[in-house]
DNA sequence: GCCTGTTGCGTTACAATGTAACAAATTATA
DNA sequence: TATAATTTGTTACATTGTAACGCAACAGGC
């Protein structure tokens, strides 16, 4: 089943998503002997609570409310850690961050970002990447990492727009 | 022949690239009844003079030198126009801009960006996009536009790194 | 437990990137 | 030439991201 399309289904049990993501993150960090500190965990939770990618500065008020320091470096450091562990991705075209639904294995992700409601959804870009890699290699270019983001209309917003 | 790989060949006649890009731009704008004003043309030329994508603020000093106003809105407006005509692309992962080698027809581009020397090169991403589109459509997602950027090492830098 | 090196965090200050708003100048069109 | 539309100048500000440094918390060995 397409766990990948879940963000576009407004009626799913998102509380479950969040808890699953957090428990999975705890396990991953423990296995890798990395420290998922309270700030890092809170930032991850805040990001997962939203289906829209969140900007770094959107996280600050919630951090302050939880009694933490809330200056930019705090949140950027947490985000950097979460990215380094593959727990969140940065969406370059939005300057925003979103939780990764499959942080346990490395993968080539592509984000479908709705220009109507802002919701984003990660899908697998492995076969598209194989194609691009082939071209790149033909030019002698050695791939390190990639940014693949598609803006468009999600099913819900498409319907609203059609009215 | 691979006009597309030209930026990775350090020995090509780049003056020729620039002039070709400018004359092509003039023709395109004239056909579309769009005004390629002095500022817009200068910005386009400055961008083409570099094989590295240029940040907006890197353009300002040159604008000032040419006697133009050089406040951010000036250059952002020129860039917006050039983008609207497909003459330059914005590279989201770098916050920078680069000239399009084929502005005459619409296309799905992918940028190969060297993390060594900063050089970038546009290649065709049509078949990769077909793949992603198929997945997107299966989720009911309607594509509007995309951002595909690959960071890695160009042939030259790869060689240097191997030493 | 206690020392000690390492990592994470608080804090300040600032850099880099991008825009809103409105006035003045220029250009197209009639 | 008059008028409307587009482009540019100008000011001021919003947003996003970092450098640097000192202190606090923690892990691992004794
Ligand atoms: Zn992912
Ligand atoms: Zn939507
Ligand atoms: Zn292009
Ligand atoms: Zn290079």
Structure confidence at residue A152 (pLDDT): 98
* Number of residues that this document lists for chain A: 163
Closest nucleotide (C1' vs CA) to B80 is C18
Taking only the tens place, the pLDDT of each residue in B44-93 is: 999 999 989 999 999 999 999 999 988 999 999 999 999 999 999 999 99
Q: In what order do the strands lie in the sheet with B120-124?
A: A120-124, A109-114, A142-153, B142-153, B109-114, B120-124
CA of B148 to the centre of ligand 3 (A): 11
Whether residues B140 and A8 touch (CB distance < 8 A) is answered with yes
3-state class of A154 per DSSP?
coil
Whether residues B147 and A144 touch (CB distance < 8 A) is answered with no
**Half-sphere exposure for A13 (CA within 13 Å, toward CB):** 4
Domain hosting A50: range is: 3-162
**Contact call for residues B108 and B125 (beta carbons, < 8 A):** yes
Strand pairing class (A120-124; A96-99): unpaired
Cβ-Cβ contacts under 8 Å, B140 against chain A? 8, 154-155, 158
More confident residue, A58 or B12: A58
Domains held by chain A: number: 1
Cα dihedral A149, A155, A158, A160 sign: negative
Taking only the tens place, the pLDDT of each residue in B21-51 is: 999 999 999 999 999 999 999 999 999 999 8
Whether residues A142 and B136 touch (CB distance < 8 A) is answered with no
Taking only the tens place, the pLDDT of each residue in A31-42 is: 999 999 999 999
Nearest to A136 among B92, B129, B150 (CB): B150
Whether residues B150 and A132 touch (CB distance < 8 A) is answered with yes
- Alpha carbon separation from A71 to A57, A62, A74 (Å, rounded): 9, 12, 6
Confidence of residue A5 (pLDDT cuts 50, 70, 90): low
- Residue B148 sits in a domain whose CATH number is 1.10.10.10
**Half-sphere exposure for A156 (CA within 13 Å, toward CB):** 15
Q: Report how far residue B9's alpha carbon sits from residue B2's, in angstroms, rounded to the nearest whole number.
A: 11
Cβ-Cβ contacts under 8 Å, B121 against chain A? 139, 141
Across A44-134, the runs of DSSP E, i.e. the strands, are: 88-91, 96-99, 109-114, 120-124
Question: Does the reported pTM lie above 0.75?
Answer: yes
Structure confidence at residue A2 (pLDDT): 39
Q: How many Cβ atoms sit within 10 Å of the Cβ of residue A69? A: 11
Whether pLDDT at B102 is above 70:
yes
Q: How far is the CA of A68 from the C1' of C19 (A)?
A: 31
CA of A64 to the centre of ligand 4 (A): 43
Q: Each residue of A94-114: b (16+ CB within 10 Å) or e? A: bebbbbbbebeeebbbbbbbb
**Contact call for residues A42 and A77 (beta carbons, < 8 A):** no
CA distance B66 to chain A (A): 32
Structure confidence at residue B4 (pLDDT): 53
Q: Report how far residue B65's alpha carbon sits from residue B61's, in angstroms, rounded to the nearest whole number.
A: 6
Burial of A45 (0-12, 13-18, 19+ CB in 10 A): middle
DSSP B162: H
Whether pLDDT at A1 is above 50:
no
Strand pairing class (B88-91; A120-124): unpaired
Whether pLDDT at B1 is above 90:
no
Q: Report how far residue A40's alpha carbon sits from residue A31's, in angstroms, rounded to the nearest whole number.
A: 16
Q: Report how far residue A84's alpha carbon sits from residue B22's, in angstroms, rounded to the nearest whole number.
A: 42
Give the DSSP H or E segment for A55.
Answer: none
Closest-lying ligand to the alpha carbon of A122?
A: 1
């Amino acid at each position: 089943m397409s766990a990948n399309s879940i963000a576009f289904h407004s009626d799913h049990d998102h509380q479950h998503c969040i808890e699953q993501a957090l428990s999975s993150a705890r396990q991953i960090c423990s296995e890798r002997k990395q420290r998922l500190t309270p700030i890092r965990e809170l930032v991850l939770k805040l990001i997962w609570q939203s289906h829209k990618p969140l900007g770094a500065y959107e996280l600050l008020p919630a951090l302050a409310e939880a009694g933490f320091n809330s200056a930019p470096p705090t949140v950027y450091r947490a985000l950097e850690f979460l990215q380094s562990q593959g727990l969140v991705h940065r969406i370059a075209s939005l300057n925003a961050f979103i939780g990764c639904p499959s942080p346990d294995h490395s993968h080539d992700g592509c984000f479908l970002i709705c220009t109507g409601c802002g919701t984003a959804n990660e899908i697998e870009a492995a076969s598209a990447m194989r194609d691009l890699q082939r071209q790149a290699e033909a030019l002698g270019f050695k791939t390190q990492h990639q940014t693949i983001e598609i803006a468009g209309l999600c099913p819900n917003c498409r319907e609203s727009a059609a009215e």
